[in-house]
Structure 1
Amino acid sequence: MEKIKCIVVDDEPLAISLLENYISKVPFLELVFSTENPIEALEYVQKNESDLIFLDIQMPELTGINFMKILGDKKKYILTTAYSEYALEGYEHHVIDYLLKPVPFERFYKSALKAQERFMMSENKEDTHFFVKSSGQQYRINFKDILYVESIRDYINIKIAEQEYIVLDTLKSMEQQLPRMSFIRIHKSFIVNLHQINNVAGKKVTLISGNEIPVGESYRMNLLTRIK
């Protein structure tokens, strides 16, 4: 399993520093973003990959509960707060655990292990296929058969070996449906299947099929990290 990409959202700088330090000590966790501003966190989540959010409940701009309501079930959470009465409401959402401040490392590590177990269970239960509507018909597509997905204005093109499906959807929506362990966004207009990559050279990826896909500069480092 890859490292769990973590975000820390807390309006207290000292709390952020503590969680950043704790995350750095756990080999299977990776901090990708931290902020005192929940609005900034929402913007980051919409544009970047992440898995787990360490979320403070009491924040002036936007409470943690409302933060989760906005994102829905797109992410998993570990809640942090100084007030235990919020725990039950928080568990209505995709909350893995609940940490009461001040958080000792031993308690944090137990939460991290819970998160690791939850993500491993999700991967083991991962679907192998999905259905799309194209040209008025429903088609079954196996994830493993997808070469790449391309954004074309208000549509996406799902390309498999000798077939393509033009679907009314967005690349962002498709990115959330595809298994993160197997697919990666490499350009503002392209998602590719990691298992289909033959080589990466310069600003392009060549797939086993021979298709060449451009690599956006802002996506290149993440791509190189994933293929390693």
Structure 2
Amino acid sequence: MKKIKCVIVDDEPLAISLLESYVSKISFLELVFSSENPILALEYIQNNESDLIFLDIQMPELTGINFMKIVGGKQKYVLTTAYSEYALQGYEHNVVDYLLKPISYDRFYKSALKAQERFIVREDAADTFFFVKSSGQQHRINFEDILYIESIKDYVNIRTVNQEYIVLDTLKSLELQLSEWSFTRIHKSFIINMSKIKNIGVKKLILSSEQEIPIGDSYRANLLNKIK
């Protein structure tokens, strides 16, 4: 099982030490970087592979909220802070959980499990399925069964040949996770399985299931290039 690569960013050395000790106790987490300096953490993230950031919200050089705005949707976050009023701001971003200091190991472990649920965990690129949490249950979805994925506010609708799954996630996050397979973004609200394309028109395409999906003007060139 692939480990989740973790980064810790907090301006308090004691808080970093505590979180480092917690990460070391969980088999599916791997600490790859920690720092009191959010600027150094940004540099690391831009140049190295990581998956999950344990991020303090209130830091003097750069707030956690602004940190997330800079990094964007390629990361998932567990927010850590002593100030509960920041929780709502944090959940506007790709946040898995919110931890209020002082953080117990039991509460940290629950956050780690939440994070594990949000990742596609695979041994190698030959995997043909992933799991998503929908309606309180974990569902196995085969890549070949997916027709399209549609963004619906804070959720996505993963539509397969037989069923649909409403999942708390972002289209950008799934676009990054599915980039190794035959999926592509064709609209600000849609990702499609290219193996399901029946034909392509000027403003829309039709899938093998006869569903019509709009093609955004800014995505058309990339779609046609991939087909070629």
TM range (shorter): 0.5 to 0.7
Tell me what 1:57 maps to: 57
1:129 aligns with 2:182: yes
Distance in 1 separating the partners of 2:184 and 2:71 = 24
Aligned-residue identity in percent? 72
Q: Name the SS of the counterpart of 1:32 in structure 2.
A: strand
Write out per-residue CA displacement over residues 83-139 of structure 1, whole angstroms, 9 at most, x where no aligned residue: 00000110010000000001000000000000001113469665421469xxxxxxx
Distance in 2 separating the partners of 1:103 and 1:131 = 40
User: How do 1:79-94 residues align onto structure 2 when only pairs under 5 Å count?
Assistant: 79-94=79-94
Gaps of 5+ in 2: 121-130, 133-139, 144-176, 186-192, 196-221, 223-228
Write out per-residue CA displacement over residues 146-186 of structure 1, whole angstroms, 9 at most, x where no aligned residue: xxxxxxxxxxxxxxxxxxxxxxx9xxxxxxxxxxxxxxxxx
- Following superposition, the deviation at residue 141 of structure 1 comes to 8.3
- TM (norm. structure 1) is 0.56
Distance in 1 separating the partners of 2:30 and 2:194 = 32
1:29 aligns with 2:44: no
Tell me what 1:99 maps to: 99
- TM (norm. structure 2) is 0.56
User: How do 1:134-149 residues align onto structure 2 when only pairs under 5 Å count?
Assistant: none
Q: Name the SS of the counterpart of 2:119 in structure 1.
A: helix
Gaps of 5+ in 1: 133-139, 143-168, 170-228
Give the count of matched residue pairs.
137
Tell me what 2:73 maps to: 73
Q: Name the SS of the counterpart of 1:50 in structure 2.
A: coil
- Following superposition, the deviation at residue 74 of structure 1 comes to 1.0
Distance in 2 separating the partners of 1:141 and 1:33 = 37
User: CA 1:90/1:30 → structure 2, altered by over 3 Å: closer, same or farther?
Assistant: same
Q: Name the SS of the counterpart of 1:79 in structure 2.
A: strand
Tell me what 1:177 maps to: none
Distance in 1 separating the partners of 2:45 and 2:184 = 26
Amino acid at match of 2:54: F
Q: Name the SS of the counterpart of 1:107 in structure 2.
A: helix
Tell me what 2:137 maps to: none
Q: Give the CA RMSD over aligned residues.
A: 2.4
- Following superposition, the deviation at residue 39 of structure 1 comes to 0.4
- Following superposition, the deviation at residue 72 of structure 1 comes to 1.1
Distance in 1 separating the partners of 2:72 and 2:184 = 22
- Following superposition, the deviation at residue 56 of structure 1 comes to 0.1
